[in-house]
Amino acid sequence: MPIVSELLSELVAFPTQQAGGEGGAGDERKLCEHLAPKLRALGADEIVLESAPRSDGSAGAYVFARWGTPRRIINAHVDTVPANPGWTRSPWSPYIANGKLYGLGSCDTKAGIAATLVALETTRPKNFGVLFSGDEEAGSAVMHEFMKSPHARGIEEAIVCEPTARTAGIAHRGVLAHAASLEGAGGHSSKADYMPKPIAKLARLAVAIDDLGMRRLHDGPATMPGLCMNVAALAGGVAFNVVPQRGRLEWSTRPYPGFEREAYLAELAALAAAVDPEIELEVTVDHAPFACVHPAALSALVQPFVTSIGKLDFWTEAALYMEHGIDAIVIGPGDIAQAHAADEFVPLEDLDWAVELFRKALAS
């Protein structure tokens, strides 16, 4: 098998991006098919390659390898976001410069895949699994499919690869996004004084929601105070002289572990009803927060490799493991500041660091 940087370059060259940008949607299964024989050559007792729909209904996939009966797994996602505008070279033409490897997914999270494969060259694990899965950057539908499969049974701990800048995460916020919509008659603006105004009413709701976020700035644990309330969009108009027929408001919060979700939803419903009972509310994204229940063993495992162990500022699929009673820790090469950015990169020294980290995890 090539050295870790060569292997990572090989993986970056497979377009696996979500739909919406340059090049259309990438092919997760094609990369999984490429990874399966590599895992087989590393002595896995079983290789499972499965197609699974992405959250948008398009084709996704995962590949799972096991040695014995897995109690612990390493998981990295094969998909990437669409290429952000501003790349100075093709996002799928990896190159090395100034001690960094550039390419879409190099940091998030194909570096974790490459480091895992290289670590497996010198370490044959026992009762261990490796999962390379798709759709993480969209709706995690592929991970939900894996969790429903018999291959997930018996797993007790997961090392979730994300770029954490040599820290480790045992807690992070969730993501809870909403939309509110309101219909009216619409018409000529000369009659506006006597017509329903969906945009104006939703603007009042937007202010009430922002005020709610300000009132709760100090809610939650000391390490994660507040809701991160973000009123993101208000849309619906077509021209200055047309009373809009409909309006749509979008906002999000990032709930902390222990967040009282149902009470929050009830409060939102009351705010909307006070503005107009006809306002319809919809949850558009619902990612639970994460807090490792029994972090001691995983924390001890990574302690020699990290500068700190604590909370992260971004959501990961560790939350899905928690929902299934599986303890998880989030760690991997690279820095989240580079993820999703044009000219994404991972430092070469981080690749070597990750190989040593995963070697220890595989041998434990």
Q: Read off the pLDDT of residues 115-133 as tens digits, 9 standing for 90 and up.
A: 999 999 999 999 999 999 9
pLDDT score for 2 = 65
Q: Same structural domain for residues 332 and 192? A: no
Both 79 and 154 in one domain: the answer is yes
What pLDDT does residue 21 have?
A: 83
Examine the domain organization and report whether 153 and 68 are in the same domain. Answer: yes
Query: What's 129's domain CATH number?
Result: 3.40.630.10
Q: Is the pLDDT of residue 345 over 80?
A: yes
Residue-level pLDDT at 343: 97
Can you point out the beta strands (E) in the chain? 46-53, 59-67, 72-77, 95-97, 100-102, 128-133, 157-160, 168-172, 175-183, 187-188, 230-235, 242-243, 246-253, 280-287, 290-291, 309-312, 327-330, 345-347
83-92 confidence digits (pLDDT tens): 989 999 999 9
| Res 241: pLDDT | 94
Q: Where among 287, 314, 333 does a domain terminate? A: 287
Cα–Cα distances in angstroms (integers) from residue 96 to residues 125, 134, 343, in the given order:
31, 26, 11
For residue range 70-107, list pLDDT tens digits in order: 999 999 999 999 998 999 999 999 999 999 999 999 99
Q: At residue 108, does pLDDT exceed 80?
A: yes
pLDDT digits (tens, 9 = 90+) for 179-225: 999 999 999 999 989 899 999 999 999 999 999 999 999 999 999 99
pTM (predicted TM-score): 0.92
Angle at 231 between CA 226 and CA 237, to 5 degrees: 170
Same domain, 64 and 140: yes
Taking residues 248-259, report their average pLDDT: 97
- The CATH code of the domain that includes 192 is 3.30.70.360
User: Are 248 and 326 members of one domain?
Assistant: no
For residue 364, what pLDDT band results from cuts at 50, 70 and 90? confident
Q: Are residues 190 and 55 in the same domain?
A: no
> What value does the mean pLDDT of the chain take?
96
Asked if 99 and 10 sit in the same domain, the reply is: yes
Cis, bond preceding 109 (omega within 30 deg of 0): yes
3-state DSSP assignment of residue 98:
coil
Same domain, 148 and 17: yes
Same domain, 225 and 160: no
Q: What is the DSSP letter of 160?
A: E
* The pLDDT value given to residue 6: 97
Tokens of 189: 């603006």
Whether residue 97 sits in one domain with residue 59: yes
Coil, helix or strand at residue 247: strand
The per-residue pLDDT for 88 is 96
Which tens digit of pLDDT belongs to each residue from 295-326?
Answer: 999 999 999 999 999 999 999 999 999 999 99
DSSP 286-309: EE--EE-SS-HHHHHHHGGG-S-E
Whether residues 159 and 200 share a domain: the answer is no
Q: What percent of the chain has pLDDT over 90?
A: 96
Boundary of a domain, candidates 252, 287, 322: 287
The count of structural domains within the chain is 2
pLDDT for the residue 28? 97
Q: Across residues 235-240, what is the average pLDDT?
A: 93
C-alpha 332/C-alpha 112 separation (Å) is 6
Residue 1 has pLDDT above 80, yes or no: no
- Using alpha carbons, list the distances in angstroms from residue 35 to 73, 195, 218: 16, 60, 46
Q: What is the rounded distance in angstroms from the CA atom of residue 194 to the CA atom of residue 215?
A: 34
Domain extent for 220: 175-287
Question: Do residue 24 and residue 110 come from a single domain?
Answer: yes
Using pLDDT thresholds of 50, 70 and 90, give the confidence band for residue 162: very high
**223-234 burial code (b ≥16 CB/10 A, e <16):** ebebbbbebeeb
Give pLDDT tens digits for 17-73.
999 888 889 999 999 999 999 999 999 999 999 999 999 999 999 999 999 999 999
Q: Name the domain boundary from 287, 315, 337.
A: 287
Torsions phi, psi for 145 (to 5 deg): -65, -45
How far apart, in whole angstroms, are the C-alpha atoms of residue 92 and residue 14? Answer: 7
